[in-house]
Amino acid sequence: MWMTKGTVKEGVLCIDDCLRGNELPGSGDDRTASLKALRAYILSEPNGAFGLDFPFGLPRDLAGSRGLVEFLVAFPEKYEGPEKFRESCLSSGKGREKRRKTEEQAKTPFSPYNLRIYKQTFFGISAVLNPLIRNDLVRIMPVQKPSAKKPVVLEICPASTLKRLSLYGHRYKGATSEHRKARAQVLREILGTHRMRLEKPGVAKAVVENRGGDALDSVIAAIAVHRALSRRLKPTEEDRQIYGIEGYVYF
């Protein structure tokens, strides 16, 4: 897990740091410790906005008619573990990997319970969102109205943001010199496309040297949050009802 931290100054996204999740205070190399530290970090920034790269919900015919907040609160009781979660979704979807309306709009790569990301969905909801929402500690955009002194969380998808910026297609996840060059190229193009600057010299090196591409993805996530805060979502009433159940991807 990688995180990028930035502040907005006169409309420009200033990237202050890019770090591994296990570098957070109280974090560690195991999932439980790192996600607990992530929750604590979110709560330490009451005026902050956080873009999280995992699905917040399920397609409406799998999630039911209850709202997203109620779905998130009940999630751990309904699904015992990631395998049971995926099995239940596939069974309810009659073997199909169904997608939410927002995923079709944002052109995300996968369904929330696709084999590649179902564990991200499960642990992201059960170990990050559920404790925060259950205790009314954060606000989810655009489902909940903002509240003073409570951080907001947004679902983002780096691939969708790259598509929106017309930068999608670079193969930057890997250990070869070509992958490294691709990461450097994407970073250069992002800096040229979006109103953003790197405040800390080591950020560019961290992004380019990270073989998995997760550091670069976290920078792209910060861009998605900046874009979301710079514009107002104006969904139709039909969309609002769907987003209120399924969630919304900012890109």
- The 10 Å CB-count burial string (b at 16+, else e) for 11-36 is eebbbeebbbbeebeebeeeeeebbb
**CA dihedral sign, ordered 143, 78, 110, 17:** positive
Determine the pLDDT at residue 53: 98
182-220, pLDDT tens digit by residue? 999 999 999 988 899 999 889 999 999 999 999 999 999
Lowest mean pLDDT among 48-57, 169-178, 217-226, 238-247: 238-247
Residues 6+ apart with CB under 8 A from 47: 149, 151
Determine the pLDDT at residue 230: 85
Rounded distance, CA 76 to CA 131, Å?
10
Nearest Cα residue to 72 out of 250, 223, 247: 247
Beta pairing partners, 19:
3
pLDDT at 234 over 80: no
Mean per-residue pLDDT over the chain, rounded: 94
Residue ranges per structural domain of the chain: 2-250
Rounded distance, CA 178 to CA 192, Å?
21
Determine the pLDDT at residue 83: 97
pLDDT at 233 over 90: no
* Extended beta strands in the chain, E state: 2-9, 12-20, 49-52, 139-140, 152-156, 196-198, 249-250
Determine the pLDDT at residue 29: 87
Helix (H, G, I), strand (E, B) or coil at 50: strand
| Residue whose tokens read 């190399």 | 29
Determine the pLDDT at residue 65: 84
90-125, pLDDT tens digit by residue? 999 999 999 999 999 999 999 999 999 999 999 999
pLDDT at 170 over 90: yes
